[in-house]
Amino acid sequence: MAGDIHNKYIDPPHTTDFAIMFLPFEGIYAEVVRRASLLEQLQRDYKVIVTGPTTLAAILNSLQMGFRTLAIQKRSSEVWRILGAVKKEFENFGGILEKAQKNLQTASNQIDDVIGKRTRAIQKKLKGVESLSNTEANLLLDTQNDFDEAEDADDEKNN
C-alpha cells in the first residue's frame, strides 16, 4: 500500500514530498510500529509516514505547526526586505534634512550679520544726523504717495 500511496499522491512540487498512511485499527498500527525495519523502509523508500487512531491528531498538529512556521519565515524575509528599503530611504531623508539644516543655519547667520553688524554700522554713520518727524520724512521721501500709487495700481489690476 505504501508503494501505491507514493505513486499516486507524492508529486513534488505540486504536493509535499511525503504522505501519511492511516491504519484505522490500533492493533495493525502497533504491529507495523513494532517492526522497526518495516517502518524505516516505508519512510526511507516510499516517504510514507504510518499513523494510527491515537497518533493521527498529533502528526497533523505537528505538520500544521511546521507549515505555519514555514509561512512565517517566508513572510519575515519579506518584512526584512521592506525594512531594509525603509532604512535606506530614511538615510537619504536624513542627508537631505541635514543639507536643509545647513542652509537654514547659513541664512540665519547672514540675517544676524545684517541685523547686527550692518545695522550698527549704519546707525554709527547716522549718529550725528538729526531725525525728522514722520510727516517731514514722508514729504521729503514721498513714501506716502508711492504707497498710495501702488494701492491704486493693485485696485486697477483686480477690476
Q: What is the mean pLDDT of residues 43-52?
A: 94
Between 102 and 129, where is the model more confident?
102
| Contacts of the segment 114-117: beta carbons below 8 A, 24+ positions apart | none
Distance in angstroms (rounded) separating the CA atoms of residues 25 and 23: 6
Distance in angstroms (rounded) separating the CA atoms of residues 63 and 143: 89
Distance in angstroms (rounded) separating the CA atoms of residues 23 and 32: 9
Residue 98's pLDDT band (boundaries 50, 70, 90)?
very high
β-pairing, 19-22 vs 48-51, is parallel
Per-residue pLDDT at 149 exceeds 70: no
The β-bridge partners of 20 are: 49
Q: What is the model's pTM? A: 0.47
CA angle 149, 154, 155 (to 5 degrees): 95
Quick: pLDDT tens for 56-97.
999 999 999 998 998 888 888 888 889 999 999 999 998 999
Residue 105's pLDDT band (boundaries 50, 70, 90)?
very high
pLDDT over 90 percentage in the chain: 50
Q: What is the pLDDT of residue 42?
A: 94
Closest CA to 132 of 143, 121, 145: 143
Distance in angstroms (rounded) separating the CA atoms of residues 52 and 25: 7
